[in-house]
Amino acid sequence: MNRENTEIDSLAIRNAILQAKETAYSNSQNGPDLPKLDKIDWPLNCTVGPGLEGAIACETEIGYVNGSKGQLVYRGYDIFDLCAYSTYEEVCYLLLHGKLPSEKEFASFRKKLNSYLFIPDTIRLMVGFPVEQWSTMSALRLGVNFMRQKQTYRDDAASAARTDNLASDEDSFAMENPPKGAEHAVYEFFGRLFGKPSSVKEDLTSSEEVDSCYRLIAGVATMTAVISRLNSGSLPIEPDSSLSHAANLLYMTTGKKPTPLEEKIMDICLILHADHGMNASTFAAMVVASTLSDLYFSVGAGVSALNGPLHGGANEQVMITLKKIGSPKKVPQWFENMCKEKRKIPGFGHRVYKTYDPRARILGPMTSLLAAQKPAMKDLYLTAQALEKIVVSTYGETKRIFPNVDFYSGLVYSSLGIGQKMFTPLFAVSRVAGWTARILEYMKHNRIFRPRALYTGPRDLVYTPMEQRQTSKQLTAA
């Protein structure tokens, strides 16, 4: 691809995003904005529903979602502008540090991220497991734990003082008789561990912990690509330091260097999924961090929460649905049947957005750009467009149901050569930025999360010994 084409692609992408922004904010039904809040007096009065719906657990300057306006903001910057002008690496810096980086800050941040993409020790452990038999999220959960073992001192605080284990490589057990060259072996052995640096404070906001955030953002990307490779029976591919985060992710996953269009659209997907309020996985990660556990355990909790179909994974369902429908002309009949059976359409509706999800507004045109270059995706894209039209015209006004981020993301990932099983891990690759940024912020004024439950059970039962207990059958007969 020549330079001219590349420039046309990036211009087409930017224009499409800015056009989507204009459409979004010119909508006359847009709702009110959040009042400007300077100081919050705790405790707050708010209406709380089951599952903590409506509860306010903390203050944040990281991200803001206006569900009636269809607006998503990271650190004051609108998501449309970030997708049009920024990169995922810059957005990570913004989320973690609260400001856009200077040129120097960005260069040093990128250099670190790039070097942290290399996680050979962790990959070596991963390759030893039958990952191809596991769900990809389960493998990612394990991978994060391996990273913790290899990249932190936390389970090995006493290691620096230990001199009894002599070994020539890290797989050996202590030897009864020190071999020749023992001193060198000791040095090599301990040199590979991350001993707890004396500067580390016992809190989760020290510079070493910020460094762990960088390691997690980079490492989860590599680990996800490794899982994708192992899952499809291929060997992992080393990152290429000359590539961007998005390009590396695609390269390590598919084995092919992406075109500039593919790279930019992957980058946009990463930006779009980086943060989204107090969603279930962010909350899970923050709850774990609030116990003064560590960042790796917290990110592991985020991965675990994301695994559930009510959170990650709806985009897989969208792909299955579009393939099942088969073609745009079959959409009306299929939709009529779904309505008759009162079934939900995957990729539509959102707990917070009661208008178009801005992420869907951006991903729709991206799918169109990719479909124009990938004939195999064209029919699926046209089917998606027909479905969007009929759902919005039927339910948009009446039930406030519009496409959500998952409606087009699966189509984008498939066009980029990523398999369905990798969609949810890919969500984690991006969201690790939001998880870690929110943990760092919360840790500045940490208070362990501890809501209450309303007890509605009995209180005065008399204990009966086991042999005197009646089975439910006996009770019914009596």
Among residues 31 and 178, whose Cβ is nearest to ligand ACO? 31
Residues 6 or more apart whose Cβ sits within 8 Å of residue 334: 324, 325
- Rounded to whole angstroms, the Cα distance separating 219 from 429 reads 9
What is the closest distance, in whole angstroms, from the C-beta atom of residue 406 to ligand ACO in the complex?
5
Q: Are 97 and 211 contacting, i.e. CB atoms less than 8 angstroms apart?
A: no
72 binds ligand ACO (CB under 6 A): no
Q: Is 33 a catalytic residue?
A: no
Among residues 99 and 351, whose Cβ is nearest to ligand ACO? 351
Answer for which of 220, 286, 401, 422 binds ligand ACO (CB under 6 A) is 401
Answer for which of 66, 307, 383, 404 binds ligand ACO (CB under 6 A) is 404
406 binds ligand ACO (CB under 6 A): yes
> Which residue among the candidates 245, 273, 276, 350 is catalytic per the annotation?
350
Query: Near ligand ACO by CB under 6 A, which window of 11-19, 192-200, 402-410, 459-467?
Result: 402-410
Please name the amino acid found at residue 186: V
Query: Near ligand ACO by CB under 6 A, which window of 9-17, 46-54, 322-330, 339-347?
Result: 339-347
Query: Near ligand ACO by CB under 6 A, which window of 28-36, 49-57, 183-191, 341-349?
Result: 341-349
Answer for which of 140, 246, 405, 428 binds ligand ACO (CB under 6 A) is 405
399 binds ligand ACO (CB under 6 A): yes
H, E, C per residue of the chain: CCHHHHHHHHHHHHHHHHHHHHHHHHCCCCCCCCCCCCCCCCCCCCCCCHHHCCCCCCCCCCEEEECCCCEEEECCEEHHHHHHHCCHHHHHHHHHHCCCCCHHHHHHHHHHHHHHCCCHHHHHHHHCCCHHHCCHHHHHHHHHHHHHHHHCCCCCCCHHHCCCCCCCCCCCCCCCCCCCCHHHHHHHHHHCCCCCCCCCCCCCCCHHHHHHHHHHHHHHHHHHHHHHHHHCCCCCCCCCCCCCHHHHHHHHHHCCCCCHHHHHHHHHHHHHCCCCCCCHHHHHHHHHHHCCCCHHHHHHHHHHHHCCCCCCCHHHHHHHHHHHHCCHHHHHHHHHHHHHCCCCCCCECCCCCCCCCHHHHHHHHHHHHHHHHCHHHHHHHHHHHHHHHHHHHHHHHHHCCCECHHHHHHHHHHHCCCCHHHHHHHHHHHHHHHHHHHHHHHHCCCCCCCCCCCCCCCCCCCCCCHHHCCCHHHHHHC
Among residues 122 and 136, whose Cβ is nearest to ligand ACO? 136
Judged by CB under 6 A, the number of residues near ligand ACO is: 15
What is the closest distance, in whole angstroms, from the C-beta atom of residue 167 to ligand ACO in the complex?
47
- The token pair at 31 is 């709702």
The CA-to-CA distance between both ends of the chain, in Å, stands at 82
- Given phi > 0 = left and psi -120 to 50 = alpha, else beta, which region is 233? left
- Contact mark string toward ligand ACO, 314..333, x via CB under 6 A: x-------------------
275 binds ligand ACO (CB under 6 A): no
346 binds ligand ACO (CB under 6 A): yes
Among residues 72 and 185, whose Cβ is nearest to ligand ACO? 72
The overall longest dimension of the chain from CA atoms, in Å, is 86
Q: Is 41 a catalytic residue?
A: no
- Contact mark string toward ligand ACO, 194..233, x via CB under 6 A: ----------------------------------------
351 binds ligand ACO (CB under 6 A): yes
349 binds ligand ACO (CB under 6 A): yes
What is the closest distance, in whole angstroms, from the C-beta atom of residue 325 to ligand ACO in the complex?
14
- Contact mark string toward ligand ACO, 102..131, x via CB under 6 A: ------------------------------
97 binds ligand ACO (CB under 6 A): no
Q: Is 169 a catalytic residue?
A: no
384 binds ligand ACO (CB under 6 A): no
Answer for which of 344, 372, 389, 397 binds ligand ACO (CB under 6 A) is 344
What is the closest distance, in whole angstroms, from the C-beta atom of residue 197 to ligand ACO in the complex?
38
What is the closest distance, in whole angstroms, from the C-beta atom of residue 17 to ligand ACO in the complex?
20
284 binds ligand ACO (CB under 6 A): no
389 binds ligand ACO (CB under 6 A): no
Residues of this chain that interact with ligand ACO (CB under 6 A) are 311, 314, 344-351, 399, 401, 404-406
Catalytic residues: 311, 350, 406
